[in-house]
Amino acid sequence: MEALSYTNRYEIKYLVQTKQVPEIHEALDPFLELDRNGFHDGGYYCQSIYFDSPDRRFYREKTEGDLTRIKPRIRAYRPSPEAPTAAVFMELKGRYDRIIAKRRSKIDGEQADRLLTRSSDRIEVDSLATSALDEFNYLANRFQLAPSVSVLYHRTPYFGSFYPNVRVTFDRNIRCSLVTALDAEFGDFYNAIPSNWLVMELKYSDKVPGMLLDRIRALGLRQWSFSKFAVSTQACFDVLRTRRVLH
């Protein structure tokens, strides 16, 4: 996994049923090719551990529709849910109206544990990644950040065959947990959305090709303002509430 960051990117999200995927692939395959970062099955598992303040500031910014917001998180990649991590990053994903920007620092498991436990030990990274970690530490100290929710899902990523600025991803089996550790077991997670639904994301910089948008519109797909962080946080709240009622 490469330590890529980006600025001025746009995202369009679609919530689709798994039974629609063959039709979507048939329509979009001429425009797409598999991402080289995929594992043997062409995809990989992502685990994102999101941070939030005691008063759920970043969750509220999303649910209240703030046009400018940021999500601090640790993201790990692995070929299967039970496999060791292949790469770990600290990320700051910001939204400025419709524009998305992400900065990330590649870290190892020990460094991730320090961030998750808010250890005072300084993390040494290369100079290009220092500014992202400095901002993370600023946010953590200002808002008393702590890991709040963990999200696990399988991603199949594609790049545009003729349009290098285009990326399309399919995120399946989106699950969430209050166990915010990189070694969380698969059984610690439960469905954030029904398993027969997935999230398709169209990501691009500058302009999206009209022919590709026409194919998507012809499929009748509806855009959704979908946040794995917000949906998973709410799902965890619902589980906790149900458990309290049952007890």
Q: Is residue 76 one of the residues assigned to a domain?
A: yes
Predicted confidence at residue 67, as pLDDT, reads: 85
Q: What is the pTM of this model?
A: 0.90
Which of 120, 44, 124, 40 is CA-nearest to residue 90? Answer: 124
The pLDDT value given to residue 22: 96
pLDDT given for residue 2 in this prediction = 54
* The pLDDT value given to residue 247: 47
Per-residue pLDDT of the chain (247 residues; tens, 9 = 90+): 555 555 568 899 999 999 999 999 999 999 999 987 777 778 999 999 999 999 999 999 999 988 899 999 999 999 998 899 999 999 999 988 888 888 888 898 888 998 998 765 556 555 445 678 888 988 999 999 999 999 999 999 999 988 888 999 999 999 999 999 999 999 999 999 999 999 999 999 877 888 888 999 999 998 898 999 999 999 998 887 776 655 4
Please count the structural domains in the chain.
Answer: 1
Range of the domain at 24: 6-246
| Amino acid 120: pLDDT | 54
In a domain, 225, yes or no: yes
Residues 6+ apart with CB under 8 A from 55: none
> Looking at residue 9, what is its pLDDT?
85
pLDDT at 123: 60
CATH, residue 82 = 3.20.100.30
In whole angstroms, give the CA distance from residue 158 to residue 178.
Answer: 30
Among residues 21, 9, 51, the alpha carbon closest in space to that of 171 is found at 21
| Res 163: pLDDT | 84
Residue 190: the pLDDT is 92
Residue 28, in any domain of the structure: yes
Which of 137, 174, 167, 133 is closest to 152 using CA atoms?
Answer: 174
Flag whether 206 is in a domain.
yes
Q: What are phi and psi of 82, to 5 degrees?
A: -95, -10
Whether 24 is covered by a domain: the verdict is: yes
User: Is 1 within the bounds of a domain?
Assistant: no
CA-based torsion, 103, 113, 35, 3: positive or negative: positive
